Structure 1
């Protein structure tokens, strides 16, 4: 099951806050905490459509680099599981109640896209994805993800693009609120 935050993460990464697309940046190197089929597919889609030549991303090793920010999220996560959130106001209230150091900051509504449905038709899941920490994609090998379990470990290459499927340049359709 995909985490709840995958689609919002992808929608917020595709466009800058001013609405101008990040066009043809030669490479992108990021550290992310989302390691799912959708994240792999999204970054592969960006390379295959020419938005980037190379994308590398590295996962934080679980249980390493704990800090006070992680502690604040831990309190929030516990309260979220016990709460019935049905509106933005109730979510804001829950964040404010979770800890003395947590303050909810609301941003204007943005348009969300159906990334999960869009990417699932184009890319296959990566088997045993949780074992890998480093991922990269290049235009030299479109549809191929190079993975490593750690720094200095041997590379594993896997084809994630489904065979015979055209990779569209356009983004997925906007999801209407229900």
Structure 2
């Protein structure tokens, strides 16, 4: 999803990319994300990429307000279909836009996990203690990350790519297939959810 957003909103004509994240290890602060930012630098999309993580206790910022707008709109609306959800997102704020998967037409899931693992990327030790990461597309910095515990603090350099001579940065990304809904899940939706849907829409998703 981040890849789709960057290609759509923040790629062409930009020299520097600054990302602010909450301190969620599962979603944001992990080695896969570091490999991803390093790869963007290698592609030459940006001269510099900085990733900053807010310290625990200070993790509310502008993105949360947009989700708040969606929640306010959602609680006063009837929702029967995915179309209704899209309308709620679009009507919640000028800054929100619903983007649906739509069978891969809207956007796709790419297999970054396999892409980076087979290309010899190396995990950063003690990643959780760092809050600031920097990447550069200078030839001597490609495949490396500079990290610091504090803003403006002393940086340490870590090589993420074991052998850059064997890494094809333009290799085509594999697309992950979306799993079809199971029969058990269909049965659950029919028996437990369908009853709460208004009559004109009961058979749209709950046959």
Query: For the residues of structure 2 that align with 1:136 and 1:171, how far apart are their CA atoms?
Result: 26
Partner of 2:40: 46
* TM-score, normalised by the number of residues in structure 2: 0.57
1:129 to 109, 127, 130: 127
Partner of 1:150: 150
Deviations along 1:48-104, one digit per CA (max 9) or x if unpaired, are 11111111110111222458x59x89xxxxxxxxxxxxxx97xx7xxxxxxxxxxxx
Distance change >3 Å, CA 64–CA 14, structure 1 → 2: closer
Which one has more relative contact order, counting CA pairs under 8 Å at least 6 apart? 1
Distance change >3 Å, CA 13–CA 37, structure 1 → 2: farther
Q: Is the partner of 2:161 in helix, strand or coil?
A: coil
Structure ID, larger Rg: 2
Query: For the residues of structure 2 that align with 1:121 and 1:51, how far apart are their CA atoms?
Result: 22
Partner of 1:138: 136
Distance change >3 Å, CA 106–CA 27, structure 1 → 2: closer
Partner of 2:173: 172
- Structure having the higher helix fraction is 2
Deviation at 1:158, TM superposition (A): 0.3
- Unaligned runs of 5+ residues in structure 1 are 1-7, 74-87, 93-104
Query: For the residues of structure 2 that align with 1:44 and 1:65, how far apart are their CA atoms?
Result: 24
* TM-score, normalised by the number of residues in structure 1: 0.66
